Structure 1
Amino acid sequence: MAFWERYPSPPSLEGVSVKQLTIFLLEASSNTCSVKKASEILKLVKEDGNTVREHQETRDFLVKSIVRDISFKKQEMRYVERELKGLMSLLDVQLDTMPGIDLVTASALIAEIGDVRRFPNANKLARFAGIAPVYFGSGGKGREQKSKQGNRALHTLFYNLAVQQVQVAKGSKLPRNPVFHAYYQRKLKEGKTKGQALVCIMRRLVNIIYGMMKHKTTYELPIIKEEEVFNKV
């Protein structure tokens, strides 16, 4: 953001030395960008040659305008998040204690579910979210199919949350939620597709979210030994 605001186009770097650009980048990036990065940028600009276009000043103005707009929206997001934190503390619902649920996701879940007490049990909430299967048939014969009804926004929230539960960290290769990861792998071994396995996780998540909201409890990750996780993969 700082770079594009100061240097909206290659011509704006004309006459800038490696040392000058390095000092700017170090300050703007909290010392994460080095001399190497500054050298690479100036090298690429030199290789491109003259890139000045018609109405270049107007083009630069537009780039800076976009940066200012993004900066304004980021500031507004901070204001909104601060307001959300206040509202969440009043509700005393601790959904963000569960891996994969941040302030925004927790707020979205509460907004879509509303007062969880309006659902007699987790099954009703699952049906409301379109996660519970629907039975098609008559005369004692039929089959269950995935529901395409229900609150689709809430369904999407549970789907994204389910995906995060089975993700594995790139660095450590450890699953974010070992219990759900092991459960997901077990469902795949049972012959279910990835989509079907995720639906199973979504249904379990409904039970957990329902209980956390109804009883205002925190999420406690069940203890599972590391070797048990990898043995189930």
Structure 2
Amino acid sequence: MHYKQKHIYIGVDLHKNHHTAVIIDCWHEKLGEIKFENKPSAFPALLKEVKKHTKKGITPIYGLEDVGGYGRSLAVFLIENNQIVKEVNSALSFAERKSYPTIKKSDSWDAYTVAYVLLNKLDILPDANPHDLYWAIGQLVTRRNGLVKALTALKNQLHIQLSYHYPSYKKFFSEIDGKTALAFFQKYPAPHTLKGISINKLTAFLLEASNNSVSKRKAKEILSLITADGDTKREYQEHRDFLVKSLVRDIEFKKQEIEHVEEELILLMDKLDYKLDTMPGIDLVTASALVAEIGDIRRFPNPDKLARFAGIAPVNFSSGGKGKDKKSKQGNRTLHGLFYFLAVQQVQISKGSKNLETLYFYEYYQRKLKEGDSDSSYIPYVFLCILTIR
């Protein structure tokens, strides 16, 4: 008996409020189907339905596309109940749906295609491993990314408002969201609020806001620039002043929240025996993002498996004995982007470096350029090899 005949295959189409599961045998014949709510109290119904179609000596295997989002609760439940759960790449099930002459779309059909891929690709699909630690790290990384994106939008809005109030504001401070800059714009949102403020008084304010790192010269420079800009006060000025103060308060809040999230990330990352931040170019944020996307590194037996998962392994395109390796457009694109960004950083920081790892990386990069290979698909892969060796 072929080993695939010893299983039945359950593909699950995942949604926010409900899931649809389709059960097939090794001959691709549909055995059953069940729709159930996305909540732990409804999950036993799936096990009960699967049990109806599980004969003696047959083991069920479940395939889920998303074990970190809508499908995470189900994956955790199944694993806790000693079920075999595989993670099905959504690109594979999408390609399967597109391979039919007539393309159709429904929850039932989507679940069937997941089960079909699960059966056909059983040997290469990774085990689902929705570990709480990696999931929590991933949630914190997502939260931080959202805060950073919101902070960038707020800073852009503040730039616009200040350009109306202080035409020369960019010369005031090196960073618009620095501690001293935010304190200044919160206290003095427009030039008219500085009326009657002497150089000494402004200097005292700046010294306190900057922990004595700003001199009297800066106060003179700011007042001089404001005088040179001319009068910018307009009708309803007080409302626009409020807008500047509101943006400053929001920016300060976002920066504080980012710090809090990073503190939580440090606590969780310390629970892992990873040394990613010992590599040049990798800080806490990047290391956390890598861990969040990769999860438990032990589910990848070698660098090649991880490279294919991340979509950074070159793919050979050839016909008639001619062809070349090209970069892949499949795999985890977030992870692909992280490796590519890190690879570019390694090339930059390795110039003149005496570190053997970065030196090896730079020499490889230069060798590929001399060979006339303008395709950069190799670079992230080599970085991955160095990373896994560590």
TM-score, normalised to structure 2's length? 0.49
TM-superposed deviation, 1:128: 1.3
Q: 1:79 aligns with which of 256, 260, 279?
A: 260
Q: Are residue 98 (structure 1) and residue 297 (structure 2) matched?
A: no
Residue 37 to residue 181, structure 1, CA distance change in 2 (3 Å): farther
Q: Are residue 11 (structure 1) and residue 189 (structure 2) matched?
A: no
User: Residue 314 of structure 2 contacts residue 378 of structure 2 at CA under 8 Å; is this kept in 1?
Assistant: no
User: Residue 186 of structure 2 contacts residue 244 of structure 2 at CA under 8 Å; is this kept in 1?
Assistant: yes
Q: 2:385 aligns with which of 192, 200, 207?
A: 207
Higher fraction of helix: 1
User: Residue 165 of structure 1 contacts residue 176 of structure 1 at CA under 8 Å; is this kept in 2?
Assistant: no
Residue 176 to residue 137, structure 1, CA distance change in 2 (3 Å): same
Q: 1:146 aligns with which of 315, 321, 327?
A: 327
The separation in 1 between residues aligned to 2:288 and 2:282, in whole angstroms, is: 9
Residue 31 to residue 192, structure 1, CA distance change in 2 (3 Å): farther
Q: What percent identity do the matched residue pairs reach?
A: 63
Q: Aligned residue for 1:221? A: none
Q: Which runs of 5+ in 2 are unaligned?
A: 1-181
Higher fraction of strand: 2
Q: Aligned residue for 1:67? A: 248
Q: Aligned residue for 1:34? A: 215
User: Residue 167 of structure 1 contacts residue 175 of structure 1 at CA under 8 Å; is this kept in 2?
Assistant: no
SS class of match (2:348): coil
The separation in 1 between residues aligned to 2:183 and 2:330, in whole angstroms, is: 46
Residue 139 to residue 168, structure 1, CA distance change in 2 (3 Å): closer
Q: Are residue 58 (structure 1) and residue 239 (structure 2) matched?
A: yes
Q: 2:206 aligns with which of 25, 28, 41?
A: 25
User: Residue 130 of structure 1 contacts residue 151 of structure 1 at CA under 8 Å; is this kept in 2?
Assistant: yes
TM-superposed deviation, 1:176: 9.6
TM-superposed deviation, 1:184: 3.1
Residue 18 to residue 183, structure 1, CA distance change in 2 (3 Å): farther
The separation in 1 between residues aligned to 2:384 and 2:337, in whole angstroms, is: 12
Q: Are residue 112 (structure 1) and residue 290 (structure 2) matched?
A: no
User: Residue 132 of structure 1 contacts residue 147 of structure 1 at CA under 8 Å; is this kept in 2?
Assistant: yes
Question: 1:37-48 counterparts in 2 under 5 A?
Answer: 37-48=218-229
Which segment drifts farther, 45-54 or 136-145? Answer: 136-145
Residue-pair matches, total: 206
Question: Quick one: which amino acid aligns to residue 190 of structure 2?
Answer: S
TM-score, normalised to structure 1's length? 0.79
Q: Deviations over 1:56-100 (max 9, x none)?
A: 111111111111111111111111111111111112212111111
TM-superposed deviation, 1:134: 1.2
Q: Aligned residue for 1:229? A: none
Question: 1:131-210 counterparts in 2 under 5 A?
Answer: 131-138=312-319, 140-168=321-349, 178-179=358-359, 180-193=361-374, 196=376, 199-210=377-388
Greater RCO, CA 8 A, separation 6+: 1
Question: Quick one: which amino acid aligns to residue 306 of structure 2?
Answer: L
The separation in 1 between residues aligned to 2:364 and 2:204, in whole angstroms, is: 51
Q: Which runs of 5+ in 1 are unaligned?
A: 213-233
CA RMSD of aligned residues (A): 2.3
User: Residue 269 of structure 2 contacts residue 288 of structure 2 at CA under 8 Å; is this kept in 1?
Assistant: yes
The separation in 1 between residues aligned to 2:213 and 2:379, in whole angstroms, is: 39
The separation in 1 between residues aligned to 2:198 and 2:234, in whole angstroms, is: 23
Query: For the pair shown, which has the larger CA radius of gyration, 1 or 2?
Result: 2
